[in-house]
């Protein structure tokens, strides 16, 4: 299994602070059956920006530590890129990293809104023959209030990544229910842990998959894992036709 969204580099953003913490996280990943992790440190975020050079340096050190600890997990480079006016230029010049040297790019929206230029950024990424993946849309307040906003972005060519902890209930029942609604509407295509640390933001990779299996979303599990593998292999992902968004009776999440 492949985790396409993880903060595992030590001391660079709000992920693990030390190399020992990073190693402990990766050992946990191995226990959960994860074979590959894309290190997606924050980039161009108002609070954290980890440049390409730092990621390459820290990955080399972490890979050596993994080897020394006999951990059988492969690491890939990437970034979680907060969208801004310069996003397209950064991708064009190679300053911003795609996922595992593929055509797939993990982009982050602000937590409370969808910037007016988001569609323009999506279209610009597509013009570079790259595919934007929207990170954790279920934790975006504008999408929670009006899920069809995510449908609009997908109709413009983006795909999306759900967070394991959201499905497992780590962020609360409302986000868990919204996550299932987005999955059932075929608005989610990939799956990641978004792990930051062992205590408050753990992997929960297996927990999220187990929850989906218990709630009869086996097809979603298969598609997520297959698409994660296809991203690392730089192959086309599987995309199902979005379904009509029908808000259930409990839809009063953020009113």
Residue stretches of the chain with pLDDT short of 70: 244-255
- What is the predicted pLDDT for the residue at 200? 86
Question: What is the rounded distance in angstroms from the CA atom of residue 247 to the CA atom of residue 250?
Answer: 8
Strand order in the sheet with 131-135: 2-6, 36-43, 74-82, 104-108, 131-135, 159-163, 190-192
- What is the predicted pLDDT for the residue at 87? 95
- What is the predicted pLDDT for the residue at 54? 96
Q: Which two tokens stand for residue 88?
A: 């397209």
Nearest residue to 138 (alpha-carbon basis) of 109, 158, 117: 109
- What is the predicted pLDDT for the residue at 253? 47
Contacts of 255 (CB under 8 A, 6+ apart): none
Q: Which two tokens stand for residue 39?
A: 């290190």
Rounded alpha-carbon distances, angstroms, from residue 159 to 85, 104, 162: 20, 10, 10
| pTM summary value | 0.93
Domains of the chain with CATH codes: 2-233 (3.20.20.140)
Question: What is the rounded distance in angstroms from the CA atom of residue 131 to the CA atom of residue 3?
Answer: 18
Cβ contact 153:116 at 8 Å? no
Angle between helices 218-233 and 205-214 (to 10 degrees): 140
Question: What is the rounded distance in angstroms from the CA atom of residue 108 to the CA atom of residue 118?
Answer: 10
**Local structure of residue 195 (DSSP, 8 states):** B
Question: What is the rounded distance in angstroms from the CA atom of residue 217 to the CA atom of residue 110?
Answer: 29
């Amino acid at each position: 299994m492949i985790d396409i969204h993880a903060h595992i580099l030590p001391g660079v953003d709000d992920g693990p602070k030390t190399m020992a913490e990073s190693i402990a996280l990766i050992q946990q990943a191995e226990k959960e059956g994860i074979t590959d992790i894309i290190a997606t440190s924050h980039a161009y975020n108002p609070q954290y920006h980890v440049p390409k050079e730092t990621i390459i340096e820290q990955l080399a050190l972490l890979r050596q530590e993994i080897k020394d600890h006999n951990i059988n997990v492969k690491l890939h480079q990437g970034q979680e890129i907060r969208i801004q006016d310069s996003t397209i230029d950064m991708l064009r010049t190679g300053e911003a990293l795609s996922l595992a040297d593929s055509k797939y790019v993990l982009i982050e929206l602000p937590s409370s809104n969808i910037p007016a230029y988001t569609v323009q950024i999506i279209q610009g990424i597509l013009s570079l023959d790259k595919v934007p993946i929207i990170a954790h849309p279920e934790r975006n307040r504008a999408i929670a209030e009006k899920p069809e906003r995510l449908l609009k972005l997908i109709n413009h060519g983006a795909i999306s990544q759900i967070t394991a902890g959201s499905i497992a209930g780590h962020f609360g029942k409302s986000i868990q229910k919204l996550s299932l609604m987005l999955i059932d509407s075929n608005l989610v295509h990939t799956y990641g842990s978004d792990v930051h640390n062992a205590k408050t933001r753990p992997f929960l990779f297996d927990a999220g998959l187990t929850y989906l299996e218990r709630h009869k979303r086996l097809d979603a599990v298969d598609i997520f894992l297959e698409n994660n593998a296809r991203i690392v292999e730089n192959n086309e992902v599987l995309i199902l036709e979005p379904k009509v968004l029908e808000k259930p009776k409990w839809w009063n999440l953020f009113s």
